[in-house]
Amino acid sequence: MAKQPQPISPLKNFFAGGFGGVCLVFVGHPLDTIKVRLQTQPKPQPGQPPLYSGTFDCFRKTLVGEGVRGLYRGMAAPIIGVTPMFAVCFFGFGLGKRLQQRKPDDILTYPQLFAAGMLSGVFTTVIMAPGERIKCLLQIQAATGETKYSGSLDCAKQLYREAGIRGVYKGTVLTLMRDVPASGMYFMTYEWLKNTLTPEGKSVSDLSVPRILFAGGLAGIFNWAVAIPPDVLKSRFQTAPAGKYPNGFRDVLRELIREEGVASLYKGFTAVMIRAFPANAACFLGFEVAMKFLNWAAPSL
Report the alpha-carbon distance of residue 90 to residue 17 in Å, rounded.
5
pLDDT tens per residue across span 128-144: 889 889 988 988 886 66
State residue 170 phi and psi, 5-degree precision: -60, 130
d(CA 218, CA 250): 31
- Region of poorest pLDDT, from 118-127, 131-140, 210-219: 131-140
CA atoms of 178 and 121, how far apart (whole Å): 9
- How far is the C-alpha of 75 from the C-alpha of 139, rounded, in Å? 9
pLDDT one-digit tens code per residue, 48-74: 888 888 888 999 999 998 888 888 887
**Model pTM above 0.85:** no
Query: What is the total residue count of the chain?
Result: 301
Cβ pair 188, 264 in contact under 8 A: no
Whole-number pLDDT of residue 84: 84
The answer to whether residue 94 scores a pLDDT higher than 80 is: yes
Q: How confident is the model at residue 2 (pLDDT cuts 50, 70, 90)?
A: very low
The arithmetic mean of pLDDT across residues 262-291, rounded, is: 90
For all residues of the chain together, what is the average pLDDT?
88
